[in-house]
Every structure is written in C-alpha cells, then in structure tokens.
Amino acid sequence: MNTPPISTTTSAGSDMIELRHIGTTKEPRVDSRLIAGWLDIQHRTAMKTIQTHRAAFADLGKVRFQIAASTDSRTGQQVRFALLNEDQAHLLLTMSRNTPRVVALKVALVKAFRESRVALEAYRTGTLPTTKALQDAIQAVPGGPGPWLHSNVSKLVNKAAGIAAGTRGEASAVGQAMLMMLQATATRAMQEATDAKHAYALAADALELFSGVSR
C-alpha cells in the first residue's frame, strides 16, 4: 500500500489530513479510509476493528457509516466506510501499536481537529454575523435587490476568498478571516448604491482589489 505522509494541515489534498464537516453543526469527521491509508493497513482491517468494538465507538458519539464507489474497483463496486469524530479516531488509533507513525498520526489528528474547532468558532462568531450584515445591506438597496443581487454578491465574495459555494463552514481560520473582511468590504461599498445594478458594481469594484473579480 502506498502510504501518504502525515501532515498537520486540514486542507484538502492526498497528502494531508482532510476533515469532513457534516450536518448543520459542521461537525468535523475523518474518513476511516484515510486513517487506514496513513496506518498502511487494509481498510477492511480498520472497519473490522470498528465493527468489533462498535459499542465502544458508539459510546463516544454516533458512528456514521457511508457507502461510496471503491477507488480500486473497475466494476463500480462500492465500499462501506466510517466517518469518525475526534474521540472515535483516537480510539481507533489506541487499538494500534504505538509505532512512530501511529504516534505521529495521533499528534497530527489532535492538531487538525484543534484547527477545525478554531475555524468553526470563527465561522459562527465572525463569518455568520458579517454574512447577516451583508444580506441586510443588500436588502436595503434602493428599489430592492431583485431576484439576483444576493446570489451574485455571494458569488463575488466566494470567488475573492477562493472557496466553492456551500463550503464556507469548512474553510480554515484564515479563510474565515478572509470571508469576514470581504463581506465587510462589500457591505461598506454598497452603502452609496442607488439601485441593485449600482450596488453590484460597487461590490465588484471593491472586491476586485483582493482577487481580480470582474463585473
């Protein structure tokens, strides 16, 4: 098995620890297939451990299982995997020998989940309030925002921040800070708008300074 190196970042990438955020609470979870890869073991071995000790894992939170197409199958065969919360991931690791790689993975997971908590707190206390302020500013545009201004300004912000639509809650702490700044910038820029078209132009001009956004 080609084992990926361990990294402490939560950014996406084949050689990095990637946490998935699920549900309305954006709870961070780690894929059991990734843990198996980092431990250089077969994924079915990791899943057998989870199933054998399912009660212990469930005591640490709901064990979430999903099914997806196997990356190793040419016939579309599907594989069942688990999305583990922080405590469940560490429980799985305690059932492995404390090799240098396991220890390194434990440390990396601690850092990844910690960074995720910091980012999620920034999202809740900073990004969401500035989103609300921006929406209020858009709604207050003379003549009304029309059916398109909210979504189009949101697209401008996402493009300037370099994030995909629907993933704001998964952005890093740095990404959350960027979102806060961009939304505050767009909010200020639209204060002098005379109508929806003018508001969009003002927001686009202001955000262009950060990312080359063009209206």
Q: Answer left, alpha or beta for residue 170, where phi above 0 means left and psi between -120 and 50 means alpha.
A: alpha
DSSP 171: S
Encode the chain (215 residues) as per-residue pLDDT tens digits: 444 443 334 433 334 578 888 777 788 999 999 999 988 899 999 999 999 999 999 999 999 999 988 776 666 789 999 999 999 999 999 998 888 888 989 999 999 999 999 999 999 999 999 999 999 999 999 999 999 999 999 999 999 999 999 889 889 999 999 999 999 999 999 999 999 999 999 999 999 988 655 44
pLDDT value, residue 9:
42
pTM, two decimals, is 0.73
Tens-digit pLDDT profile for residues 87-123? 999 999 999 888 888 898 999 999 999 999 999 999 9
Question: Where exactly are the structural domains of the chain?
Answer: 19-96, 118-211
Q: What is the pLDDT of residue 72?
A: 67
Q: Tokens 């059991």 identify what position? A: 32
Query: What φ, ψ does residue 127 adopt, rounded to 5°?
Result: -65, -45
Backbone angles phi, psi at 29, to 5 degrees: -135, 155
**pLDDT score for 130:** 97
| E-state strands within the chain | 19-22, 27-31, 64-69, 78-84
State the Cα angle at 207 between 202 and 211, rounded to 5°: 145
